[in-house]
């Protein structure tokens, strides 16, 4: 019979009950493995017996209460569905319904929803995709798949039980589950929950508690690089991992120049867990790729610049093709080329919007680009460009590189893209920017 997350955690607790499991930087409280388990047992005791086998959503910030809910549901035989804690109550109920949950933990109370069929007893948890390319989808994972993802991540990145993982990214996102939650539950790697996700507060947390591993998103690396912090502010960190969105060479180089630390690009998807990792960081600094496959992960080319991911962590039968287009370079590294399914017709010509965005990002001074068909005018384009340049400076640059029919008729210039809590460009807000008068 396959080993479960609860079984791996229980063995760790029995072996070293007083080992540190979680530190709350804001309160300076330290939770041992035994204390965190007792907190989860208390949470489980308040759950109804009918919850066994049912899907249950919850939305809590990083901290001991998140683990109490997650472990408590697993102990009760339920299937947890972590939601973004920033989601309002109404959105949580909508997401719970779309995920076919029978219960939802909202505002400190367990709500019973429609009496839906029980989940598969093999299910460990359900991930909800970000919904950046459509409605969020519910993905049920087994214990074996989640443990495999954690194993691939830890062996490829050199994360050990002696490390201290700095938790800023949300626990419930696919990135947080694979890089923070599973390393704790499967091998005992303790967590430091950040006090406030602001540069000086993070630097203070690092100086006091000396974490060694820092999973982060590109936007935070950019903010840290621009902050008035001393060069040794992050000195205890051994490994900086960047995922959630593409990390530009400009941000990686600025961060490296300021702190002497090299970020390592990490790429994955909700359906597969981790896919590639830049072990040396050289490809990240050069803006060359998102690294080579994780240990235990195999990539094979597919039609249309697609690729297939095969590993024990992949949902379903262990093989999945992400929506991203990509190629393998001469170093065996994955080079992303944009997402599939974004072909449109402009003035009778076929245009790959992802390819056009890639071209725009390669131009000097452009940090990011988002291109869609014009919301009001046929055969025209609209674009949001993240750049320090003004619209007057930007248009001549675009005209020098783009065919006339590819030039966006509507151009919105912003200093930075709006981001979701997962660190990805907020496509809903980008569309809203283009639809405003």
165 occurs within a structural domain: no
154 occurs within a structural domain: no
- The model's pLDDT over 13-25, given as tens digits with 9 standing for 90+, comes to 999 999 999 999 9
Boundary of a domain, candidates 306, 323, 339: 339
188 occurs within a structural domain: no
> Which residues are paired to 335 by β-bridges?
327
Domain count, the chain: 3
Higher pLDDT, 430 or 116: 430
- The model's pLDDT over 250-267, given as tens digits with 9 standing for 90+, comes to 899 999 999 999 999 999
The verdict on 134 and 210 lying in the same domain is: no
The predicted pLDDT at position 343 comes to 73
The verdict on 306 and 209 lying in the same domain is: yes
Question: What confidence tier does 236 reach under pLDDT thresholds 50, 70, 90?
Answer: very high
The predicted pLDDT at position 379 comes to 79
Name the residue with tokens 């086998």. 53
The predicted pLDDT at position 96 comes to 92
Provide the b/e sequence for 207-238 (b: ≥16 CB within 10 Å): eebebbbbbbbbbbbbebbeeebeeebbebbe
**Which residue range forms the structural domain that includes residue 300?**
195-339
The verdict on 365 and 276 lying in the same domain is: no
**294, two tokens:** 């994780």
Question: What confidence tier does 156 reach under pLDDT thresholds 50, 70, 90?
Answer: very high
Q: How many CA atoms lie within 13 A of 299 on its CB side?
A: 25
Please answer whether residues 254 and 280 qualify as being in contact, where contact means their C-beta atoms are separated by less than 8 angstroms: no
The predicted pLDDT at position 323 comes to 84
Rounded Cα distance, 247 and 239, in Å: 15
175 occurs within a structural domain: no
**134, two tokens:** 């459509």
The predicted pLDDT at position 120 comes to 56
The predicted pLDDT at position 198 comes to 93
For 200, 295, 407, the CA distances from 163, given in Å and listed in that order, are 22, 19, 50
Give how far the C-alpha of residue 370 lies from the chain's centroid of Cα atoms, to the nearest Å. Answer: 20
Residue 291 falls in which region: left (phi positive, over 0), alpha (psi -120 to 50) or beta = left
The verdict on 221 and 258 lying in the same domain is: yes
Question: What confidence tier does 354 reach under pLDDT thresholds 50, 70, 90?
Answer: confident
DSSP conformational letter for 181: I
Q: What mean pLDDT is predicted for residues 329-350?
A: 80
DSSP codes, 214-274: EEE-HHHHHHHHHS---TTTTTT--EEEE-SSPPPHHHHHHHHHHHS--EEEEEEETTTEE
297 occurs within a structural domain: yes
Q: What mean pLDDT is predicted for residues 44-72?
A: 95
Beta-carbon count within 10 A of 364 CB: 7
Rounded Cα distance, 381 and 360, in Å: 13
Question: What sign for the dihedral angle of Cα 358, 363, 366, 372?
Answer: negative
Q: At 413, which CATH number?
A: 3.30.300.30
Residue 130 has pLDDT above 90, yes or no: no
- The model's pLDDT over 172-203, given as tens digits with 9 standing for 90+, comes to 999 999 999 999 999 999 999 999 999 999 99
The verdict on 9 and 139 lying in the same domain is: yes
Q: Structure pTM? A: 0.85
Residue 134 has pLDDT above 80, yes or no: no
Question: What confidence tier does 436 reach under pLDDT thresholds 50, 70, 90?
Answer: confident
Which residues, 6 or more positions from 295, have their beta carbon under 8 angstroms from its beta carbon? 152, 155, 156
> In a 3-state reduction of DSSP, which class is residue 96?
helix
The predicted pLDDT at position 404 comes to 85
Counted residue by residue, the chain has a size of 437
Boundary of a domain, candidates 305, 324, 339: 339
Phi/psi at 28 (5° precision)? 65, 25
151 occurs within a structural domain: no
């Amino acid at each position: 019979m396959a080993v479960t997350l609860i079984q791996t955690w229980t063995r760790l607790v029995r072996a070293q009950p007083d080992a540190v499991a979680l530190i709350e930087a804001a309160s300076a409280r330290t939770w041992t493995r035994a204390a965190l388990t007792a907190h989860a047992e208390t949470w489980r005791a308040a759950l109804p017996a009918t919850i066994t086998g049912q899907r249950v959503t919850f939305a809590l910030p990083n901290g001991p209460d998140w683990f109490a809910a997650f472990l408590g549901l697993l102990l009760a035989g339920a299937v947890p569905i972590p939601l973004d804690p920033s989601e309002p109550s109404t959105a949580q109920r909508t997401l719970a319904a779309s995920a076919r949950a029978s219960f939802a933990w909202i505002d400190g109370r367990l709500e019973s929803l429609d009496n839906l069929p029980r989940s598969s007893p093999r299910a460990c948890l359900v991930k909800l995709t970000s919904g950046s390319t459509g409605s969020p989808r519910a993905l049920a994972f087994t214990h074996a798949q989640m443990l495999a993802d954690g194993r691939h991540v830890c062996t490829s990145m050199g994360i050990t039980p002696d490390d201290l993982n700095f938790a800023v990214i949300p626990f419930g996102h696919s990135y947080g589950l694979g890089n923070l939650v599973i390393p704790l539950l499967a091998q005992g790697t303790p967590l430091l929950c950040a006090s406030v996700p602001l540069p000086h507060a993070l630097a203070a947390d690092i100086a006091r508690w000396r974490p060694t591993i820092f999973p982060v998103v590109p936007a935070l690396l950019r903010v840290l690089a621009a902050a008035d912090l001393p060069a040794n502010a992050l000195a205890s960190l051994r490994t900086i991992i960047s995922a959630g969105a593409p990390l530009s060479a400009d941000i990686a180089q600025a961060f490296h120049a300021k702190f002497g630390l090299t970020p390592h690009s990490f790429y994955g998807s909700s359906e597969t867990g981790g896919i590639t990792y830049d072990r040396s960081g050289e490809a990240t600094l050069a803006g060359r790729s998102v690294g080579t496959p994780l240990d235990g992960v195999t990539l094979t080319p597919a039609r249309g610049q697609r690729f297939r991911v095969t590993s024990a962590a992949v949902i379903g039968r262990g093989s999945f093709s992400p929506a991203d287009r990509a190629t393998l370079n001469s170093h065996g590294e994955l080079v992303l080329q944009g997402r599939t399914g974004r072909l449109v017709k402009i003035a009778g010509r076929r245009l790959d919007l992802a390819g056009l965005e890639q071209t725009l990002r390669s131009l000097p001074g452009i940090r990011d680009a988002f291109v869609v068909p014009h919301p009001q005018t046929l055969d025209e384009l609209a674009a949001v460009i993240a750049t320090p340049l003004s619209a007057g400076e930007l248009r001549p640059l675009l005209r020098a590189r783009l065919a006339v029919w590819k030039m966006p008729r509507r151009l919105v210039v912003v200093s930075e893209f709006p981001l979701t809590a997962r660190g990805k460009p907020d496509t809903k807000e980008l569309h809203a920017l283009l639809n405003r008068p």
